[in-house]
Amino acid sequence: MEQAYDFKDLMQRLKARGLDLTEKCGKAIIEETFDWLSDSAEKSVNPYDDMARIIYPKAREFAIAQADRIDGKQG
């Protein structure tokens, strides 16, 4: 790993395990994961996950932007 949170490094690790992700698949995983996190936080009695929900929109936006670069180009 050359830099922290390098999405290309994560993709290489997943490919090494036989998971060759496309941008479409990566974006779907991110969207469903954040929906799942939000739904879980809503049902949870723990107040800390409610606070974490505040950052979900920006974190989701960042993650999708990173997934958009899986093929090596933006868009």
Q: How many whole angstroms separate alpha carbon 14 and alpha carbon 49?
A: 28
What is the domain count for the chain? Answer: 1
Question: Which residues have C-beta within 8 Å of that of residue 31, sequence separation ≥ 6?
Answer: 60, 64
Domain-located, residue 56: yes
Prediction pTM value: 0.70
Inside any domain, residue 71: yes
Question: What pLDDT score was predicted for residue 5?
Answer: 64
Residue 51 lies in a domain: yes
Q: Within a domain: residue 43? A: yes
Residue 3 counted as domain residue: no
Say if 14 falls within a structural domain.
Answer: no
CA dist., res. 45 & res. 34, Å (int)? 18
Q: How far apart are CA 44 and CA 22, in angstroms?
A: 32
Structural domain boundaries enclosing 71 = 22-75
Residue 15 lies in a domain: no
Per-residue pLDDT, 35? 93
Q: Is residue 13 part of a domain?
A: no
| 75 residues of the chain, pLDDT tens digit each | 777 767 677 778 888 887 777 888 889 989 999 999 999 998 989 899 899 999 999 999 999 998 888 777 776
Q: What is the pLDDT of residue 62?
A: 93
Query: Residue 56 in contact with residue 34, Cβ under 8 Å?
Result: yes
